[in-house]
Amino acid sequence: MGLTTHLGSRVLSLLNLSLFSLFFLVHSDSSSIDATVMLDLKQSLNNASSSLGWTDPDPCNWQYVNCSYDRRVTRIQIGNRNLTGFLPQNLGFLTALKSLNLSCNNLSGPLPSLDGLSSLQDLSLSNNSFSYIPADFFFNMTSLESLYLDNNPFSRWLLTDSIQAALNLRIFSANACNVTWIIPYNFGSHHRRLRILHLAFNDLQGGLPDSFMGSSIQSLKLNGQQSIYKLNGSIDVIQNMTQLTEIYLHSNNFMGTLPDISRLTRLKTFSVRDNNISGQVPASFVNLSSLKVVSLANNLLQGPTPKFNSNVTVDMNNGSNSFCLSDPGVACDPLVNTLLSIAESVGYPMVFAENWKGNDPCNAWFGLYCQNGNITAINFSNLHLTGTISANFSSITSLQILILANNNLAGSIPNDLTTLPNLIQVNVSNNQLSGTIPSFKSDVIVDTDGNPNVKKDSVPPLETYKSGSRYSIGVYVVLVIGCVCVFLFVGIMIYYLYWRKKKHSGDFHVIEAEHMVISIHVIRNATNNFGQENILGRGGFGTVYKGRLYDGTMIAVKRMESGVVSESGWDQFKTEIVVLSKVRHRHLVSLIGYCLDRNERLLVYEYMPQGTLSRHLFRWKEEGLKPLEWLKRLTIAVDVARGVEYLHGLADQSFIHRDLKPSNILLGDDMHAKVGDFGFVRLAPNGKSSVLTKLAGTFGYLAPEYAVTGKVTIKVDVFSFGVILMQLITGRKAVIELETEQDEFIGIVTWFHTIRMQKNTFHMAIDPTIDLDEEVLASINTVAELASQCCANKPSHRPDMSHTVNVLSGLVQHWKPSTSHCDEVFRSFGDVKSKDDSYIFPNERPQFTHITKNLDE
Ligand SMILES: *[C@@H]1O[C@H](CO)[C@@H](O)[C@H](O)[C@H]1NC(C)=O
Ligand SMILES: *[C@@H]1O[C@H](CO)[C@@H](O)[C@H](O)[C@H]1NC(C)=O
Ligand SMILES: *[C@@H]1O[C@H](CO)[C@@H](O)[C@H](O)[C@H]1NC(C)=O
Ligand SMILES: *[C@@H]1O[C@H](CO)[C@@H](O)[C@H](O)[C@H]1NC(C)=O
Ligand SMILES: *[C@@H]1O[C@H](CO)[C@@H](O)[C@H](O)[C@H]1NC(C)=O
Ligand SMILES: *[C@@H]1O[C@H](CO)[C@@H](O)[C@H](O)[C@H]1NC(C)=O
Ligand SMILES: *[C@@H]1O[C@H](CO)[C@@H](O)[C@H](O)[C@H]1NC(C)=O
Ligand SMILES: *[C@@H]1O[C@H](CO)[C@@H](O)[C@H](O)[C@H]1NC(C)=O
Ligand SMILES: *[C@@H]1O[C@H](CO)[C@@H](O)[C@H](O)[C@H]1NC(C)=O
Ligand SMILES: *[C@@H]1O[C@H](CO)[C@@H](O)[C@H](O)[C@H]1NC(C)=O
Ligand SMILES: *[C@@H]1O[C@H](CO)[C@@H](O)[C@H](O)[C@H]1NC(C)=O
């Protein structure tokens, strides 16, 4: 893994110890190691002997230094002593150190790795001139309770998951020290005791992580991020941060509405000035009796100016919000209230918040047209509105024309609209509305086109199909009968298999697969004695060769590295034989046989001519391939989902793959995919609860709970599958290099999550080789949503594979109206060597989807 070696070499180059001192450190007892380190520290601080009085040969006698009874150094308190100089690289060898305070000096140079300091509880390095904080800084600091890093000119650095190990963390203060990228999505979720989290004046972007919800943070300061995006998104999570006493969110790009803070009964200070918050100030703000300081200035707040108690300090700078009147507590005009309720039903979009000023909607408010002081027309078309159509439009009785076309409005068209006395025209076309069209008066022009789920109930549904189709009722009848037949056939087959399985029940052993043994001579012959020209690829286990059997069948042979057949390699070998001879599915690579011959351990698979998915996703250019089109990617995703679904549940036992990734997904000439490499598969215990295992799998694809605790459930595969979906969308590797000075890396999950929060930039994350049109974009968005669900932090929040199959196959169908339902049942049945490998019906028969779907309903 490139990442580890990269970090490793960095650590080594930083350590930079002379051989002698290394020798000394390795061969001394702990207290003399401490003494050596302390002398190095004294050396590297300028004038330590004079200004600190560190002259005694025994560091335990030095001022500001405390030792334990066994002469280990436990405390160093040299804050605010006008010190200059740097820290020695071996500081991390003080393994008994509990408290280190160096704050308020002018120390400089890079911070050494402190990853040996597993006893350290309090660390304060703030207000110095340190230039660099290493990526592995927090490794092993499991006892850490308070940490101050504020005001240091570090080069950009990331909050990494290594901080998760500090379970007792109470204080994390890192203001103004160049923390970059995002607050990790799970930050704080392990830190039940975290009280203070200060990350103000950094370089952060992205949103507030859900992990803040229900945390015990009392003081949260995130104000003044310097990045272009700043922190953004909604601030809703704070409604559940019931322990908060102060929260500073000012000078960012937060948007959405103010949440209900009635449960924050200890909150004293709330500062959200200089953001893009819209909507009305909830009553909970005015009613919260603990509140002392409120700062709301320079947002896009609407409705009446709130009237706070006189003992509350308010910085509201009224002119810079969009309140209807500047006098606190004075209600808005009823028409303004109506319009605000309409804005509420579409989430108070910025376009209204920015352009509806004052208390008179006829004074050039965006989207409204008036005659003689009455609103006669409303045009909210093409505003990307989401939400529903408010029934309160019906109280604008002067309204004649209502246009809401080309948005993403959902829900039904309110019946109340029919009561508008002056209505002439309603246009709600091209939204996502559903339900029936209310009965407007006959002279009203109603346009509801482009809403797939709106029922035009005047036309009987079968008629529409009939008129649009070249097929007669006779065809439908034949189809129904065909379906019934296939169901019957499948039923009989399932019964047969079940009966057969009962006969063969009992644990499976390698011995049972004896009929799969292939002689070494056959394999040597097929692969031209493992000829170089036949090598398909190499991995940690050994090499994979292409081969051709006597009868012309192409095979792939996995040859374990001879000599180094370790215990775990042998385990993987056995696992693979056991699993593969048990599970057979058209989307799992099938095992043809195996061979054990002295040192040789060989597995023989069906040959997949198009190679791995990673070849087509990441190396297409070098290999002279065409980039994958979106439909192909979708089809591959469905195939993989089906294979893994089968592993998880449809097979008679539940298996967990544990190493899903593009290089383990293989493609046939038809570009249909099969999941391969079952060396890490685990049998899930009955009931599918979690198993504790040694960590297997590949960095970047590991589910967080698995990486942290080693607990594995089928949801570990769902996570990896989510990563694969993200890769299909973005064409990126699982670990992404950020362009910081330290060449930081970040997992694709975190990266994807952040990009998606910035809705306007999401399209930039999409693989540039994908031809984007509206339909493709919609499809990608659905897959992106699914991918995020699959990569949820909590296993229980991730869907089952069957859900992913449903979503993805729905998309493929929608795309190229195709796969008949009957066919589907037949296929998921799991026959490997089906002759008909094409999913897609010929194009001239697209109506089938509709028909069969309809018959099912
Ligand atoms: C160290 O201290 C001496 C006297 O206390 C002073 O003359 C000298 O300038 C100091 N050196 C530094 C680098 O501060
Ligand atoms: C540390 O040593 C100083 C004397 O140098 C002493 O006054 C202080 O109480 C000690 N602190 C602890 C926590 O033992
Ligand atoms: C560190 O030392 C400085 C100066 O003595 C002091 O002001 C500060 O409170 C100390 N920090 C911690 C965390 O104890
Ligand atoms: C640090 O330097 C300032 C000014 O040079 C001086 O006033 C102060 O006493 C010094 N502090 C210590 C702890 O030596
Ligand atoms: C801190 O030290 C640096 C040199 O390492 C110097 O340029 C800077 O002026 C010093 N700052 C203060 C406040 O003494
Ligand atoms: C970190 O901790 C692990 C296990 O607790 C230990 O094996 C490793 O040596 C530690 N690293 C350092 C640098 O002390
Ligand atoms: C550290 O520096 C900041 C900014 O220069 C200052 O506001 C703060 O009071 C300092 N902290 C301490 C403990 O001196
Ligand atoms: C943050 O780090 C970058 C280099 O990584 C540097 O260019 C920039 O000046 C730093 N910013 C601050 C405020 O120290
Ligand atoms: C957050 O608070 C809302 C109500 O304010 C509640 O409905 C929701 O369940 C809470 N969520 C969590 C995770 O506590
Ligand atoms: C402010 O005054 C209100 C009523 O006048 C009272 O309920 C509340 O406790 C006071 N708040 C503070 C923080 O003093
Ligand atoms: C607005 O319309 C109402 C009737 O709908 C009418 O009575 C009123 O005069 C109109 N207002 C103006 C300013 O014309």
Instruction: Determine whether the shortest distance from the Cβ of 81 to ligand 4 is under 6 A.
Output: yes
Any ligand 6 atom below 6 A from CB of 162 = no
pLDDT given for residue 787 in this prediction: 95
Ligand 9 contacts CB of residue 328 (under 6 A): no
Ligand 11 atom nearest residue 373's Cα: 13
Q: Calculate mean pLDDT across residues 215-229.
A: 92
Q: What is the pLDDT of residue 318?
A: 53
Residue 309, pLDDT score: 92
- Under DSSP, the state recorded for 213 is T
For residue 333, what pLDDT band results from cuts at 50, 70 and 90? Answer: very high
Q: 612-814 — its CATH code?
A: 1.10.510.10
Residue 638: pLDDT band with limits 50, 70, 90: very high
**Pocket perturbation via mutation, ligand 5, pick of 105, 106, 152 by most ligand atoms within 8 A of CB:** 106
Residue 260 among the catalytic residues:
no
**Regarding predicted confidence, which is higher, 496 or 241?**
241
582 is in an annotated binding site: no
Query: Ligand 4 center to residue 82 CA distance, Å?
Result: 6
Q: Determine if ligand 1 sits within 6 Å of the CB of residue 50.
A: yes
Q: Which residue has the higher pLDDT, 60 or 690?
A: 60
Q: Considering only residues 272 and 772, tell me which one the structure prediction assigns the higher pLDDT.
A: 272
Confidence of residue 701 (pLDDT cuts 50, 70, 90): confident
Taking the C-alpha atoms of residue 164 and residue 142, their distance in angstroms, rounded to an integer, is: 9
Matching CATH topology for 515-607 and 612-814? Answer: no
Q: What architecture (CATH level 2) is domain 335-463?
A: Alpha-Beta Horseshoe (3.80)
Q: Does the beta carbon of 66 lie inside 6 Å of ligand 2?
A: yes
| Predicted local confidence at residue 681, as pLDDT | 66
CB of 115 within 6 A of ligand 6: the answer is yes
The architecture of the domain spanning 515-607 is 2-Layer Sandwich (3.30)
| 57, 397, 422, 426 from 376: Cα distances, Å | 91, 9, 9, 12
Please work out, in degrees rounded to the nearest 5, the angle formed at the alpha carbon of residue 614 by the alpha carbons of 677 and 675: 30
Residue 682 in this model has a pLDDT that exceeds 90: no
Domain boundaries, the chain: 335-463, 515-607, 612-814
pLDDT at position 372, please? Answer: 86
What span, in angstroms and rounded, lies between the C-alpha atoms of 489 and 350? 58
Cα 660 to Cα 6, 722, 724, 825, 834: the distances in Å are: 24, 10, 8, 25, 25
- The CB density around residue 112, as the number of other CB atoms within 10 Å, is 21
Q: For 195-204, 389-398, 707-716, 774-783, which range has the lowest pLDDT when averaged over its residues? A: 707-716
Alpha-carbon torsion, ordered 409, 410, 411, 416, to 10 deg:
10
Ligand having the closest approach to the CA of 153? 8
In this prediction, residue 19 has a pLDDT band, given cuts at 50, 70 and 90, of very low
Average pLDDT over residues 753-763: 73
Smallest CA separation from ligand 1 atom 10, residue = 47
> Per-residue pLDDT tens for 141-154?
889 999 999 999 99
**Is 537 within 8 Å of 543 (Cβ atoms)?**
yes
For residue 61, the model assigns a pLDDT of: 93
Q: Decide if 96 contacts 118 (C-beta within 8 A).
A: no
Question: Distance (Å, rounded) from C-alpha 534 to C-alpha 607?
Answer: 12
For residues 595-616, give the mean pLDDT: 84
- Span from the CA of 140 to the centroid of ligand 6 (angstroms): 6
SS3 651: coil
- Ligand 11 atom closest to Cα of 371? 14
| Ligand 11 first shell, C-beta below 6 A | 372-374, 397-398
Atom of ligand 2 nearest to the CA of 62: 5
% of the chain beyond a pLDDT of 90: 44
Higher local confidence (pLDDT), 704 or 5? 704
Q: CB of 108 closer than 6 A to ligand 2?
A: no
Return the best residue to mutate from 45, 82, 105, 127 for the ligand 4 pocket (most ligand atoms within 8 A of CB): 82
Q: Which atom of ligand 6 is nearest to the CA of 115?
A: 13
CA 449/CA 744 separation, integer angstroms: 50
Q: Are 113 and 90 a contacting pair, CB within 8 Å?
A: no
- Spacing, Cα 131 to ligand 7 middle (Å): 17
Q: Evaluate if residue 86 carries a pLDDT over 70.
A: yes
Of the ligands numbered here, which is closest to the C-alpha atom of 125?
3
Backbone angles phi, psi at 258, to 5 degrees: -75, 135
Question: Which residue puts its alpha carbon closest to atom 14 of ligand 8?
Answer: 153
What percent of the chain shows pLDDT beyond 70? Answer: 77
Give the SS3 label for residue 83: coil
Average pLDDT over residues 115-121: 90
| Range of weakest confidence among 167-181, 291-305, 310-324, 450-464 | 450-464
**For range 609-618, the mean pLDDT:** 90
What ligand is nearest to the CA atom of residue 76?
2
List pLDDT tens digits, range 353-386: 989 989 999 988 999 998 888 999 999 998 889 9
- Per-residue pLDDT band for 211 (boundaries 50, 70, 90) equals confident
Kindly identify the ligand whose nearest atom is closest to the C-alpha of 374. Answer: 11
With bands split at pLDDT 50, 70 and 90, how would you rate the model's confidence at 324?
very high
Q: Note the pLDDT tens digit of each residue in 531-581.
A: 888 888 776 667 889 888 877 788 888 887 655 456 666 666 777 777 666
The predicted structure's pLDDT at residue 182:
80
Pocket test for ligand 3, best of 124, 147, 148 (most atoms within 8 A of CB): 124
Helix (H, G, I), strand (E, B), or coil: what is residue 514?
A: helix
pLDDT for position 760: 64
Which pLDDT score, from 0 to 100, does residue 394 have? Answer: 95
In this prediction, residue 122 carries a pLDDT of 97
Catalytic-labelled residue, pool 150, 639, 659, 677? 659
844: pLDDT strictly greater than 60: no
pLDDT of residue 839: 26
Q: Is the pLDDT of residue 14 over 80?
A: no
For residue 109, give the 3-state DSSP assignment: strand
Average confidence (pLDDT) over 439-447:
89
Give the rounded distance of the alpha carbon of 803 from its chain centre. Answer: 18
pLDDT of 499 reads 43
493 in contact with ligand 7, CB cutoff 6 A: no
Atom of ligand 6 lying closest to residue 116 CA: 14
Q: Whose CA is nearest to atom 14 of ligand 11?
A: 372
Cα 15 to Cα 223: distance, rounded to the nearest angstrom: 36
Give the pair of three-digit tokens for residue 740. 């910081």
Is the pLDDT reported for residue 802 higher than 80? yes
- CB of 302 closer than 8 Å to CB of 353: yes
| 285 has pLDDT over 90 | yes
Question: Could you tell me how many residues make up the chain?
Answer: 857
| Residue among 234, 240, 794, 796 whose CB has most ligand 9 atoms within 8 A, to mutate | 240
Cα–Cα distance for residue pair 341/122, rounded to 1 Å: 51
3-state secondary structure of 369: strand
- In order of 138, 356, 525, 759, the CA distances from 364 in angstroms are 57, 8, 84, 29
Judged by phi (left if over 0) then psi (alpha if -120 to 50, else beta), residue 48 lies in alpha
Q: Mean pLDDT over all residues of the chain?
A: 80
Ligand 4 atom closest to the CA of 80, numbered from 1: 13
The model's pTM: 0.62
State the number of CA atoms in the 13 A half-sphere of 185 facing the CB.
Answer: 18
In whole angstroms, give the CA distance from residue 558 to residue 537. Answer: 9
